[in-house]
């Protein structure tokens, strides 16, 4: 059984941070709270530990999340026409018109950028894009 607060083998203490590190090595970023929520969600017997079958269920969900994130990355890369790993207002407008047949007015585009550009640097990073995908009408 894997218990995030107790030893999993002789002399090795595994905590939520360790599980987050394992997730990160698989390409999945989670916060401490997200990791704790995932453990709680898959801990079917409520003992605070994940047995093998519970851990497999968790890994299946994470694998799907990684596949979905890969698809989002492909969409992002297409929208990032200059390849600088971020989308500017002009790239967003071009991509939405070309791929979604949506022509935003300048004010609509400014509003969308404000909703998606969390750090207000004038660009949409991949993480901002992935967290805001529900705002885009991508088919």
Strands (E), the chain: 7-9, 12-13
- The torsion region of residue 82 among left (phi > 0), alpha (psi -120 to 50) and beta comes to alpha
Contact in structure between 103 and 97 (CB atoms under 8 Å):
yes
> Half-sphere exposure (CA, 13 Å, Cβ side) for 25?
6
Tens-place pLDDT, residues 46-91: 877 777 778 788 878 777 777 777 888 998 999 999 999 999 999 9
> What's the angle, vertex CA 19, arms to CA 133 and CA 76, rounded to 5?
20
Tens-place pLDDT, residues 78-125: 999 999 999 999 999 998 888 778 888 999 999 989 999 999 999 999
Cα→Cα distances 110→12, 100, 102, 134, Å:
51, 18, 14, 17
Encode 16-36: b = buried (16+ Cβ within 10 Å), e = exposed.
beebbeebeeeebebeeeebe
pLDDT value at residue 12: 33
Structure-block tokens of residue 12: 């090795």
pLDDT value at residue 13: 34
pLDDT value at residue 16: 66
Higher pLDDT, 29 or 126: 126
pLDDT value at residue 53: 79
pTM exceeding the 0.75 threshold for the entire prediction = no
Mean pLDDT on 125-139? 77
Contact in structure between 2 and 50 (CB atoms under 8 Å):
yes
pLDDT value at residue 43: 85
Tens-place pLDDT, residues 2-49: 455 544 433 333 456 677 787 777 667 777 788 888 888 888 888 777
Residue 29 makes CB contacts below 8 A (sequence gap 6+) with 23
């Amino acid at each position: 059984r894997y218990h995030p607060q107790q030893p999993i083998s002789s002399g090795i203490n595994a905590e939520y941070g360790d599980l987050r590190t394992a997730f990160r090595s698989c390409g999945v970023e989670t916060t401490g709270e997200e990791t704790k929520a995932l453990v709680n969600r898959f801990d079917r017997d409520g003992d605070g530990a994940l047995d093998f079958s519970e851990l497999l269920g968790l890994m299946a969900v994470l694998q799907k999340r990684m596949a979905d994130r890969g698809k989002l990355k492909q969409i992002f890369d297409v929208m990032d026409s200059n390849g600088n790993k971020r989308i500017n207002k002009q790239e967003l407008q071009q991509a939405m018109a070309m791929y979604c047949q949506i022509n935003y007015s300048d004010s609509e585009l400014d509003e969308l950028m404000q909703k998606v550009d969390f750090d207000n640097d004038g660009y949409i990073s991949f993480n901002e894009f992935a967290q805001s995908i529900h705002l885009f009408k991508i088919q």
